[in-house]
Structure 1
Amino acid sequence: MRPRIVCPSAEGDFTELFAAEPLRSRLAAIGEVGLAPDVPDEAELVRRVAGADVVLLATHLPDEALLAAAGRLRLVSFTGTGAASYVNLDLARELGVTVTNVTHYGDQAVAELTLALMLAAARDVPAGDRAVRAGQWAGWSGRELAGSRLAVLGFGGIGRVVARLGVALGMRVGAWDKVTDPQAMAAAGVEPLGWAQAFDADVVSVHLPLTDETRGMITTAELDLLRPGSILVNTARGEILEPGALAARLARGDVRAALDVFDPEPLRPDDPLLTVPGTVLTPHLGFRTPAALARMAEGAVGNVEAFLSGVPRNVVV
C-alpha cells in the first residue's frame, strides 16, 4: 500500500510550492498526495493528520493530532529548522514518529533582513517614513554602522553570513558560540568573544537555535550589560529572551531593538513591545523570499524521499 503524504494546512503558502512541478511529481512517485486547499481549524487539522503516513508540516501540530495518528504516522517532515517550536518532540519520540527539518535554506535571506533591521534601527527609518507620510519634514541624526562593533551570538550558517555582511559594511565584528571555531572566525575576520563580552557592543545580533539550553538564555542580567545607544537585533526566536526582560530594558529609553521574532507570535495587542520606545518590528518574515522558500520546500520533499527509501536524513527525533 502506497503511503499517504499530506500537507494538512495551506498556511505559509507551501501547498502551492508542493503542488508545482517538479515537487508534485516527485511526491506522487512515492505516495498518495493530499494538499490542503485551506487553513483548517484544529479539529479538521487533527482529522487530516490522522489519515496520514507522512505529514509535510508548515504549521503548529497539536498533540491531539499526533495522538490521533498514533500507529500510522511515520514521519513529520517539517518545512523549517526549529521543529521544536511546532511539534512536541518528546511525544513524537514516544509514539515512534520521526521528525526531520530543513537547515540553511534561509541563511542569506535571514542575514539580509538582519542587516536591514540594523540599518532601520540605526537611522530610525520607520519614524522617517511615518513623518514624511504625515507631511512633516524635520530630520534627525542617526548613526553610522561603519566602525562600530557588531557582536554575533551564534556562529552558525546565518551568523556567519551576518558577520560577513558586517565586515563588508566596515564594522568591527566579534562572535560568541557555544562551540568556538577560532580558525573559521579568523578566516572571516571575526574576533571570538566571551558571553558577557558580547553584550558590550554597538549592535548585538541574535542567531542562536532554540533549544532547552537557549530558551530564556538572554536575561535581564545580559540586557543590563548593553551600552547606551546600542541596538539589539533578534531574527532567531523570541523565546531565547527571558519573558518581559527586553521590554523592561527598552522602557529605560537608552537602547533600541529591531525584532523579527517574538514570544508569543503573533504579538498580543497589549504586548509592551508595541509601545515601548526604540523598536523596529517585522512579522517573522526573515526567511520569506521566493528563493529561500523554494529551497525549504525542496528540502522537505527530499527528506520524505530519503525517509521512504530507508536512509532518513536531517533527523531531529
Structure 2
Amino acid sequence: MRPRIVCPSADGGLARLFAEPALRDRLAALGEVVIADDVPDEATLVERVARADVVLLTTHLPDDALRAGAGRLRLVAFSGTGAESYVSLPLARELGVTVTNVVRYGDQAVAELTLGLLLAAARDLPAADRAVRAGRWTGWLGRELAGSTAAVVGFGGIGRAVARMLDALGMRVLVWDRTVDPAALAAVHGTPCTLREAFGADVVSLHLPLCAETRGIVTPELLDLLPAGSILVNSARGELVEPGALARRLARGDVRAALDVFDPEPLAADDPLLSVPGTVLSPHLGFRTPQALGRMAAGAVACVEAYLDGAPVNVVT
C-alpha cells in the first residue's frame, strides 16, 4: 500500500509550497498526498496525524498527536532546523518514529537579517524612523562598527556567514564554539576566544543551536561582562539566554540588544523586553525570504524521498 503523506496544518505558510506543482508531483510519486489549507484545532490535528504514515511538519506537534500516530506513523519530516522545539524527540524515539530536519537552508537569510539588526541598533534606525514620521529632524550620534571587535558565538553555517560580513565591515572577529574549523576561522581572519572573552567584545552575535548544553548558556554573569556601549544580537534562539537575564541587564541603560528571537514567542504584552531601553526587535524573521522558504520546503521533501528509499538523511538524534 502506498504511504499516506500528510501536511496536517497550514500554520507557518509552508503548506502552500508543498502544494505547488513541482513539490507536490515529487510527493505524489511517493504516495497519497494530503496538504492542509487551514490551521486546525488540536483535535483535528491529532486526527490527521493518526491517519498518516509520513508527516510534513511545519508547526508544533502535540504529544497527543504523536501518540495518536503510533503504530502507523513512521516519519516526521520537520521543515526547519530546530526540530526539538516542535516535536518531542524522546517520545518519537519511544514510539519508533524517525524525525528529520532541514539544514543550511537559511544561512544567508539569517546572516543578512543579523547584519541588518546590528546596523539598526548601532545607528538607532527605528528611533530615527519614528522621529522623521513625527516631524522631528533631530540627529543623534550613532556608532561606526569598523575597527571595533565582534564576537561570533556559534560558528556553524550562519555564524560563518555573519563572520564574513563583519570581517568585510572592517571589524576584528572573535569566535567561540565547542569546536572551530581552523580553515573557516582563517577565512574570516578570526581569532578563537573563550566564552567570557566573547562577552567582552563591542558586539556579541549569538548563533548557537538550541540543545540541552546551550539552553540558558547566556547567564547573568556573562551579560555582566558586556562593556558599556556594546550590542548583543540574537537571531538564533531566545532560550539561549537565561530567562529574564537580558531584560535586567538592559534596564541599566548602558548596552543595546537587537533581537529576532524570544522565549516565549510571541512576546507577551507585558514582557519587559518591550519596555526596557536600547532594543531593536523583529518577530522571528530570520529565515523568512522566498529563497530560504523554498529551500526549506524542498529539503523536507528530499528527506521524505530519502527515507522512503531506505536511506534516511538528516535524522535528528
Q: Same fold (TM over 0.5)?
A: yes
- Aligned sequence identity (%): 73
The amino acid that maps onto 1:159 is G
Q: Which moved more, 1:184-193 or 1:16-25?
A: 184-193
Give distance in 1, aligned partners of 2:285 and 2:197: 29
State the partner residue of 2:62: 62
State the partner residue of 2:259: 259
The amino acid that maps onto 1:32 is E
Does residue 194 in structure 1 map to residue 194 in structure 2? yes
How much does 1:174 deviate? 1.0
Give distance in 1, aligned partners of 2:46 and 2:276: 39
Q: Provide TM-score, normalisation by structure 1.
A: 0.99
Could you list the per-position Cα deviations for residues 26-72 of structure 1 after superposition, in whole angstroms to 9, with x for gaps in the alignment? Answer: 00000111111111111111111111010000100000000111111
Could you list the per-position Cα deviations for residues 187-239 of structure 1 after superposition, in whole angstroms to 9, with x for gaps in the alignment? Answer: 32111111100001111000000000000010001000000000000000000
Which runs of structure 2 are paired with 1:3-18 in the superposition (5 Å)?
Answer: 3-18=3-18
Could you list the per-position Cα deviations for residues 156-212 of structure 1 after superposition, in whole angstroms to 9, with x for gaps in the alignment? Answer: 000000000001111111110101223321232111111100001111000000000
State the partner residue of 1:137: 137
State the partner residue of 1:124: 124
Where 2:127 maps in the other structure, the secondary structure is: helix
State the partner residue of 2:166: 166
Give distance in 1, aligned partners of 2:214 and 2:90: 18
The amino acid that maps onto 2:314 is N
Q: Provide TM-score, normalisation by structure 2.
A: 0.99
Which runs of structure 2 are paired with 1:239-278 in the superposition (5 Å)?
Answer: 239-278=239-278
State the partner residue of 1:236: 236
Give distance in 2, aligned partners of 1:133 and 1:186: 44
The answer as to whether partners of 1:182 and 1:192 remain within 8 angstroms in 2 is no
The answer as to whether partners of 2:173 and 2:188 remain within 8 angstroms in 1 is no
Q: Which moved more, 1:37-46 or 1:305-314?
A: 37-46
State the partner residue of 2:156: 156
Give distance in 2, aligned partners of 1:268 and 1:258: 18
The answer as to whether partners of 2:16 and 2:37 remain within 8 angstroms in 1 is no
The answer as to whether partners of 2:15 and 2:58 remain within 8 angstroms in 1 is no
Which runs of structure 2 are paired with 1:108-123 in the superposition (5 Å)?
Answer: 108-123=108-123
The amino acid that maps onto 2:120 is A
Give distance in 2, aligned partners of 1:253 and 1:50: 51
How much does 1:135 deviate? 1.2
Q: Which moved more, 1:130-139 or 1:97-106?
A: 130-139
How much does 1:144 deviate? 0.6
The amino acid that maps onto 1:8 is P
The answer as to whether partners of 2:166 and 2:173 remain within 8 angstroms in 1 is yes
Query: For structure 2, which runs of at least 5 residues remain unmatched after alignment?
Result: none
The amino acid that maps onto 2:176 is W
Where 1:118 maps in the other structure, the secondary structure is: helix
- The 4+ residue runs of structure 1 with deviation greater than 4 A are none
The amino acid that maps onto 1:153 is V
What is the alpha-carbon root mean square deviation over aligned residues? 0.7
Where 2:178 maps in the other structure, the secondary structure is: coil
Which runs of structure 2 are paired with 1:192-231 in the superposition (5 Å)?
Answer: 192-231=192-231
The amino acid that maps onto 1:232 is L
Give distance in 2, aligned partners of 1:42 and 1:139: 51
The amino acid that maps onto 2:311 is V
State the partner residue of 1:285: 285
How much does 1:22 deviate? 1.0
Which runs of structure 2 are paired with 1:171-182 in the superposition (5 Å)?
Answer: 171-182=171-182
The answer as to whether partners of 2:160 and 2:184 remain within 8 angstroms in 1 is no
The amino acid that maps onto 2:121 is A
